[in-house]
Amino acid sequence: SVKQPDWLLDPRPYQARLETNSAGPEIRLSNGLIARTFRLTPNAATVGLDNLVTGEAILRGVKPEALVEIDGRRYEVGGLKGQPDYAFLRPEWIEKLRANPTAFHFVGFEVGKTKERFAWKQVRHHAPGVKWPPSGVHLRMDYEMPVMTNNLADGAVRVSVHYVLYDGLPCYCKWLTVSNGNDRTIRVDHFSSEVL
């Protein structure tokens, strides 16, 4: 086998990309150093988080993609239930996992390039060729609030979970945005953006 160059010495071969699986309802963010695999049905959830340099599977249990508390009520965002043991994850279990009916449910995703989220003035003179924002892939996964008796219009509250996987780095970024399409104000009391 051909040995890949060290990513610290030559990051060029490690380009971030989104891969789709024609055999099943999955997508995968990968840059040759790390990979995150998402199952899209019956709700979206991370089913693989792998260190591709060492071959180590980092994920042991399928959890919600995020947790958010809105107006005092806690919601899971995505995720799947029914894993019999959280010490390890077997591929054959994934097909049997089910959606939590009270969780925000996956409605779609969008893929694009990284975008500047804040202005940055370069002050490190020893790295004159640094790009801002760093290059990579931005994946936004959208979830809608479950239909409940909470005086909110169906589908009007949406949580988007953003992932950015960078080129040439074993690193990703993750954050949430909450959108309110209702006539009344909602309050986001608390959130957890990563639940592994």
Of 35-44, 82-91, 149-158, 182-191, minimum mean pLDDT range:
149-158
Q: What proportion of the chain, given as a percentage, has pLDDT over 90? A: 70
Residue 158 one-letter amino acid: R
**What is the per-residue pLDDT across 74-116, written as a single tens digit (0 to 9) for each?**
999 999 999 999 998 998 999 999 999 999 999 999 999 998 8
Note if the pTM is more than 0.85.
yes
Task: Confirm if 194 and 174 have CB atoms less than 8 A apart.
Answer: yes
**What is the per-residue pLDDT across 49-60, written as a single tens digit (0 to 9) for each?**
999 999 999 999
Q: Can you tell me the distance from the alpha carbon of 159 to that of 180, in angstroms, rounded to the nearest whole number? A: 9
Evaluated on CA atoms 96, 102, 108, 113, the torsion sign reads: negative
**What is the per-residue pLDDT across 127-152, written as a single tens digit (0 to 9) for each?**
777 788 889 999 999 999 987 646 66
Q: What proportion of the chain, given as a percentage, has pLDDT over 70? A: 94
Q: Can you tell me the distance from the alpha carbon of 193 to that of 164, in angstroms, rounded to the nearest whole number? A: 13
Q: Is the pLDDT at 126 greater than 80, yes or no?
A: no
